[in-house]
């Protein structure tokens, strides 16, 4: 299955996929089957288009997920189930402190690397060429980050954060933290995450992007119980979720997620949201984000939150992208573009 997936759904060269899979079969002690595996993979390699057509006719979604998507997105179901099977594009976010998007596109062209500007994100670039990220010009000096186009919208939905105190809750691996520091000059920024290993990636990313400073604090803490010594002006809450919206990048989600997980995740989101709301100062902004496309984690979560909080006011997102919800705005995975993301902007009032 791994070899077939590599041949039909990834950019891995066919000869490499076949060779590595056959080698793995031998190493696992199935020497006698290596010839059969080799023959099957070579046939698929020769007839890739025919096999891809067959794949197109099957959505491959678990029944519980298909049922939820049919309920949440009846009009978009066909396109959505089709798109979730495809490989997501490789997208960069240029570090505007170092280079403009137009200038970096010219640099890529000079290196014969095909790319084009994103449609929604003003700092995003989609790579059309197969290339190793560390080999791209400017990688070592922090000229860009790898980040999905729809994830790049986070920093653009925030108020001016110059000289403000900002908390990025559930921050790892640090894409949002970095973008905030590229776009604004906050007085203080705390990046929280309970996973210390993933926090190491935040530190590494900020080092590469030349965004470190005494005003940036990386803190290992549980967002459910974290207490602020000073009330933040802004909290970015990229809440734990089912990650159905990024299934194109993580196809194992089809097997790892179960219907019972959703209720547990929604409860966890509520706990984190309640605690973070208590920390936020009056007049401050909380941006609620998930990479899910399930309404239970997004729109319905926000309906529940606003029903309990008279001190919460939604700041509507006026945009020509996504689908407006009762509260918030939903982006669905799009061919050649971004993943599924949900955003809701909330102001704390007296």
Q: Is 223 annotated as a binding residue?
A: no
Residues paired with residue 342 on neighbouring β-strands, in sequence order: 290, 330
Supply the pLDDT for residue 106: 98
Domain 90-146: homologous superfamily in CATH: Sun protein; domain 3 (3.30.70.1170)
- DSSP state letters, 273-328: HHHHHHHSPTT-EEEEEES---GGGTHHHHHHHHHH-TTEEE-----SSSEE-SSS
Domain ranges of the chain: 2-56, 90-146, 151-348
> Phi/psi of residue 145, each to 5°?
-130, 155
Find out whether 283 is annotated in a ligand binding site: no
| 195 belongs to an annotated ligand binding site | no
Closest CA to 244 of 115, 331, 128, 117: 331
Is 234 within any annotated ligand binding site?
no
pLDDT, position 55: 53
pLDDT at residue 56, rounded to an integer: 47
Report long-range pairs for 223-230 (Cβ below 8 Å, ≥24 apart).
Answer: 223/169, 223/170, 223/192, 223/194, 223/272, 223/275, 223/276, 224/268, 224/271, 224/272, 224/275, 225/275, 226/169, 226/192, 226/275, 226/279, 227/279, 228/167, 228/279, 230/165
Q: Render each residue's pLDDT in the chain as its tens digit; 350 residues.
A: 688 778 776 778 888 888 899 999 898 988 888 899 899 888 878 877 776 665 545 567 888 999 999 999 999 998 998 899 888 999 999 999 999 999 999 999 999 999 999 999 999 999 998 899 999 999 999 999 999 999 999 999 999 999 999 999 999 999 999 999 999 999 999 999 999 999 999 999 999 999 999 999 999 999 999 999 999 999 999 999 999 999 999 989 988 999 999 999 999 999 999 999 999 999 999 999 999 999 999 999 999 999 999 999 999 999 999 999 999 999 999 999 999 999 999 999 98
Tell me if 143 is assigned to a ligand binding site.
Answer: no
How many residues does this entry show for the chain?
Answer: 350
User: Given this model, what pLDDT does residue 59 score?
Assistant: 64
291 included as an active-site residue: yes
- 2-56 folds as N-utilizing Substance Protein B Homolog; Chain A (1.10.940)
| Annotated binding-site residue? 29 | no
Judge whether 175 is annotated as a binding position: yes
Please tell me the CATH superfamily of domain 151-348, with its number.
Vaccinia Virus protein VP39 (3.40.50.150)
- Single out the catalytic residue among 234, 241, 291, 344: 291
DSSP code of residue 187: S
């Amino acid at each position: 299955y791994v070899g077939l997936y590599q041949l039909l759904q990834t950019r891995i060269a066919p000869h490499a996929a076949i060779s590595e899979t056959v080698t793995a079969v031998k190493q696992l002690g199935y020497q006698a089957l290596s010839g059969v595996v080799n023959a099957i993979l070579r046939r698929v390699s020769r007839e890739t288009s025919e096999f891809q057509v067959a794949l197109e006719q099957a959505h491959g979604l678990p029944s519980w997920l298909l049922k939820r998507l049919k309920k949440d997105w009846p009009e978009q179901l066909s396109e959505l189930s089709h798109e979730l099977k495809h490989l997501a594009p490789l997208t960069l976010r240029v570090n505007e402190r170092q280079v403009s998007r137009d200038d970096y596109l010219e640099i890529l062209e000079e290196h014969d690397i095909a790319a084009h500007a994103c449609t929604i994100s003003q700092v995003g670039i989609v790579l059309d060429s197969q290339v190793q990220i560390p080999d791209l010009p400017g990688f070592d000096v922090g000229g860009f980050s790898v980040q999905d186009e729809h994830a790049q919208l986070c920093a653009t939905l925030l108020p001016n954060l110059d000289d403000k105190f900002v908390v990025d809750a559930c921050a790892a691996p640090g894409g949002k933290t970095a973008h905030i520091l590229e776009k604004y000059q906050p007085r203080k920024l705390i990046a929280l995450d309970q996973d210390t290993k993933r926090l190491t990636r935040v530190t590494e990313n900020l080092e590469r992007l030349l965004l470190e400073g005494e005003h940036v604090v990386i803190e290992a803490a549980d967002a459910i119980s974290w207490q602020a010594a000073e009330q933040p002006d802004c909290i970015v809450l990229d809440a734990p979720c089912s990650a159905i919206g990024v299934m194109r990048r993580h196809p194992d989600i089809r097997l790892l997620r179960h219907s019972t997980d959703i209720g547990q995740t929604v409860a966890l989101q509520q706990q984190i949201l309640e605690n973070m709301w208590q920390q936020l100062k009056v007049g401050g902004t909380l941006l609620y984000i998930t990479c899910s496309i399930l309404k239970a984690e997004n729109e319905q979560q926000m309906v529940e939150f606003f029903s309990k909080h008279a001190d919460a006011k939604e700041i509507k997102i006026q945009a020509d992208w996504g689908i407006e919800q009762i509260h918030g705005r939903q982006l669905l995975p799009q061919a050649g573009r971004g993943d599924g993301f949900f955003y809701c902007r909330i102001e704390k009032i007296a």
